[in-house]
Amino acid sequence: MKAFEIRNLSESDIQTKLTEAHEELFNLRFQASIGQVRDVNQLQALKKDIARLKTVLRERQLAAEV
């Protein structure tokens, strides 16, 4: 998911996607620990998506404080 796509979402949608991403990351880490992950790059991409989601939320928080 790209940053401009995230910026078009509402805060509740971003929170929902963030929760889903954390759950998916947990499942992927579990699968990786037992050797069932087919695409290891998916872990890295998911971490970057989580960072983007958190960044946009933080941007909105800072903009609301001003």
Tell me what pLDDT residue 59 has: 95
CA distances from 60 to 9, 25, 36, 51 (A): 12, 24, 38, 14
Tell me what pLDDT residue 1 has: 82
Question: Is residue 38 predicted with pLDDT exceeding 90?
Answer: no
**Structural domain of 33:** 3-65
Distance separating alpha carbons of residues 16 and 22, to the nearest angstrom? 10
The mean per-residue pLDDT over the stretch 14-42 comes to 93
Name the amino acid, one letter, at 48: K
Distance separating alpha carbons of residues 34 and 31, to the nearest angstrom? 5
Give Dmax over CA atoms of the chain in angstroms: 48
Say if CB 29 and CB 47 are below 8 A apart: no
pTM over 0.95: no
CATH number at 51 reads: 1.10.287.310
Name the amino acid, one letter, at 12: S
Tell me what pLDDT residue 23 has: 97
Question: Is residue 47 predicted with pLDDT exceeding 90?
Answer: yes
Tell me what pLDDT residue 16 has: 97
What is the tally of structural domains in the chain? Answer: 1
